[in-house]
Amino acid sequence: QHDHLVDVRDEMHVLELPCHSRRSKHKSAAQAEKEFKEDPLGSCPVLWVRIDPDVEWAKSMDFRQPHYAWMQALKMERDVVGQYEACQGLTNAAEDIFINALSDTLSNGKLYYRVRTMAAAALATSYVESDQTAGLNKVLSFFRRRFMYESGAMKQNNFAQITDYFLQRGIVAGVAGVIAKEAMEIAGEFLLSVLNSNDNAGNVYDDDYFVADMLTCTARMCLRLESNDTVDRCYQEILRYLAVSELVPAQNGIILGAATNALAELAVAKRKISTEGNASFRNEVVDTLLEVISGVASNTPFYESRKGSLRALMRLESGSLGILKMVLSLADGHVEGSKPTNPASSSRLRRAALREILRASQNDAQVRLGLR
């Protein structure tokens, strides 16, 4: 390992690092280049490169190097930042050797959980030409071994080990990021099964944020899949969690906010599918959102759930003046039957409402805002 100190004074700086290596006297330049292409790991004297390994610069950086270099960094780096960057660099890797390296990282319980969740996210997006689900299958296989029964149902949540908690959340988010069409269908079924069979009955810790992640990720996957059956199944799951949240309110209303956003995602997904019955489905979703909003305004002061409700409505009905007024009424806590809210919270929510309205108006020049 060699450190090179570089004096950077200009906005753009080009640097060439010396590489002291000797080519065998019996090899020509063409032969050496051919060997490098066939076996870069054994031929290149530079295994990997890191920029600012001590994290001393406040910077935004896009650094690229070959996948084999990232794999070497993942295997040989000893600090967490280097391992995390290596997992990021291996995103969309398209060879079995890189997929196996990420799989080993995910399974290694000695590594920091953020490195393992990043490995899961990178693995889910990796595939080879002959198998678009190669990386995703590795992730799902690990999750099923660790957190599911052979029947496919989820084991009871046990967050006594904080690593398991963050692994579950990270894997769900990573699976939702798949890019191959064939893999998306498998990912959608997996997310629905996890959402359906999640069991927190025997857990001493709540799973509110885990459920919120599942709702958000499943709805986004439905938006990408554009499948009527998947949308309908996800809709029923969201309604179930909404009913549960009314009986047992989640911390800070996080599940309610995620569920309302998920409903908006489903309505948008349904709109993209040109089949009969989509208009009635959309109206049903809007009615459900309005019911949720009236309940949110009257029963809970939680900022996240109220913000989620108004964001969902704005996404569906950005051109409706009545909806815009209701959004601001929700922000101010002026919905009929609502309880007085904290002025600071109301001001914060009103700013969020105005941001949503401005975002909608930028997308639709015909929207006229009756704010006064």
pLDDT at residue number 358: 58
Alpha-carbon distance 296 to 267, whole Å?
20
> Would you state the structure tokens that stand for residue 30, as one six-digit string?
């063409």
- Model confidence, pTM: 0.76
For residue 108, report the phi and psi dihedrals to the nearest 5 degrees: -80, 105
* 139-153 pLDDT tens trace: 999 999 999 998 888
Alpha-carbon distance 167 to 162, whole Å?
9
How many CB atoms neighbour CB 291 within 10 A?
11
pLDDT at residue number 369: 42
pLDDT at residue number 53: 82
For residue 5, report the phi and psi dihedrals to the nearest 5 degrees: -85, 130
Half-sphere exposure of 226 (CA within 13 A, CB side): 7
> Would you state the structure tokens that stand for residue 363, as one six-digit string?
């997308």
Report, as ranges of residue numbers, the positions in the chain whose pLDDT lies below 50: 319, 335-341, 364-372
DSSP states of 124-192 as a string?
HT--BTTBTTHHHHHHHHHHHHHHB-TTSPBPBP-TTSHHHHHHHHHHHHHHTT--SHHHHHHHHHHHH
Helix axes 134-147, 162-175, angle to 10 degrees: 150
Dihedral angle at the C-alpha atoms of 109, 111, 116, 119, nearest 10 degrees?
-120
pLDDT at residue number 192: 93
Identify the three-state secondary structure at position 317.
coil
pLDDT at residue number 367: 39
Q: Left, alpha or beta for 152 (phi > 0: left; psi -120 to 50: alpha)?
A: left
User: Is the C-alpha dihedral spanning 108, 112, 115, 118 positive or negative?
Assistant: positive
pLDDT at residue number 337: 44
pLDDT at residue number 283: 74
| 8 A C-beta contact, residue 218 and residue 231 | no
